[in-house]
Amino acid sequence: MKTMNMLMISGAIAMSALVSGCQTTTGMAEADTQAGNITTYQITDAALQTNNWQLVDAKTRDGKKVDALFTNAAKPLTLNFMSVEGNNMVSLMNTCNTISAPYSIVNGNVELGSMMSTMMACPDAEAKFDAASVASVVGKYTLSQGADKTPMLVVTNNHQVAHFKAVAKTEAK
C-alpha cells in the first residue's frame, strides 16, 4: 500500500509538472460569456489571496462526478493562495500529505510551478484524494460569481472541471 501511495502521488506530481507550463486563466475584466451570461473577472494576486477556495463540484469531461475528491464532506479540498516572504504559493488543504506549489500570474494567466509534497503513507482513499487534488488544480483558471454572488474559481483541464467557492480564510492549525 505504501508503494502504491507513493506511486500515485509521484504520478500526480509528474503530471502537474508536465502540464504546469500551459496553465492559464482568462484575462477578461468583467465580460459576459456566452454560456449563461456568467461574468468573469481578471485574476489578480489580491483576488486569489483574499479568500480560501473550497471545492464544491468536480466533474469529468463526460459529466461524471470525480468521486475521489468527495470522500470526506467535513474536509473538502481547499486552496489557500498566499504570499510567503514575497513568494506567491498555493497550498492544498485537507490533504493527507502537505502539498503546495509556487504560482505566478503572467499576462492574466495563473501558472503553477512544480508541486511539492511530503511522501507520507496514506490510506488508499486519502492517497487517491491527494492525487485527484493535484490533478484538479492543474489547468485554466477562471474567476467569476455564482448565482448567489459568491466568488467562484473554476479550473478546467482536458480531463475535468473543478468549481471552488470563496470561503473566509482560516488560521492554520
Asked if the structure places residue 59 within a domain, the reply is yes
Q: Is the pLDDT of residue 24 over 90?
A: no
Asked if the structure places residue 92 within a domain, the reply is yes
Average pLDDT rounded to a whole number, residues 75-88: 97
Asked if the structure places residue 172 within a domain, the reply is no
pLDDT band at 39 (very low <50, low <70, confident <90, very high): confident
- Give me the pLDDT at residue 62, please: 95
Asked if the structure places residue 36 within a domain, the reply is yes
Domain hosting 98: range is 2-167
Q: What tens digit of pLDDT does each residue of 92-151 get?
A: 999 999 999 999 998 878 999 999 999 999 999 999 999 999 999 999 999 998 888 899
Question: What mean pLDDT, rounded, does the chain reach?
Answer: 82
Domain of 87, CATH number, reads 2.40.128.270
CB within 8 Å of 40: residues ≥ 6 apart: 26, 28, 30, 31, 33, 142, 143, 144
H-run or E-run covering 15: helix 2-19
Q: Which amino acid is at 8?
A: M
Asked if the structure places residue 44 within a domain, the reply is yes
User: Higher model confidence: residue 83 or residue 147?
Assistant: 83
Three cell numbers written together for 33:
460569456
- Give me the pLDDT at residue 36, please: 53
CB within 8 Å of 158: residues ≥ 6 apart: 61, 139
Task: Give percent of the chain above pLDDT 90.
Answer: 68
- What is the maximum alpha-carbon separation in the chain? 48
- Give me the pLDDT at residue 51, please: 96
Please count the structural domains in the chain: 1
